[in-house]
Structure 1
Amino acid sequence: MKRSYWGVLAMCLVLFANLCFTQYTVNMYYAQRYEAAIACAVLNVLLFPVAIFIYRKDKQAGGGTPR
């Protein structure tokens, strides 16, 4: 069975958000705006459980590897 389009799209959006938050964290660190850098780093860490939840939900829905 193939993965659902919803799961793939959601994982792509989470990956894109991770990339954006990481880039913004680095930019804010170099601009010496440490509060914003820490806030973006925390948001980046909080997205990880969201990605795990989406992955597990998609896998339970029958989106595992084909046999």
Structure 2
Amino acid sequence: MKRSYAGVIGLCIILMLDIVFLQLLVHQFFYENYGMVLLYMGLLFVLFPIAVFIYKKEKNKGANANGK
């Protein structure tokens, strides 16, 4: 199960951005700044599928290396 460093690092960066944007979303919601809440929510909707795509790509890459 050999993984590429670029895929793992990319996934870590995207998941860290998800956490940061979620924290910002909660903060802006608390202060009733709903325009920014919608912006951060949109960014989360874009970043999460990218993370799932990278995960599936890396998972398939590991399965192909084992000959499955």
Q: TM-score, normalised by structure 1?
A: 0.82
Q: Could you say what secondary structure the match of 2:3 adopts?
A: coil
Alpha-carbon distance, 1:45 to partner? 1.4
Question: How far apart, CA to CA, are the structure 2 residues paired with 1:56 and 1:8?
Answer: 11
- Identity rate of aligned residues, in percent? 36
Which structure: greater helix fraction? Answer: 2
Alpha-carbon distance, 1:57 to partner? 2.8
Question: How far apart, CA to CA, are the structure 1 residues paired with 2:26 and 2:56?
Answer: 30
Consecutive unaligned residues in structure 2, runs of 5 or more:
none
Alignment correspondent of 1:25: 25
**One-letter code of the match for 1:63?**
G
Aligned residue pairs, count? 66
Map 1:1-67 to 2 at 5 A: 1-60=1-60, 62-64=61-63
Q: TM-score, normalised by structure 2?
A: 0.80
Q: Following TM superposition, where does structure 1 have runs of at least 4 consecutive aligned residues deviating by more than 3 angstroms?
A: 64-67
RMSD of the alignment, in Å?
A: 2.0
Alpha-carbon distance, 1:42 to partner? 1.3
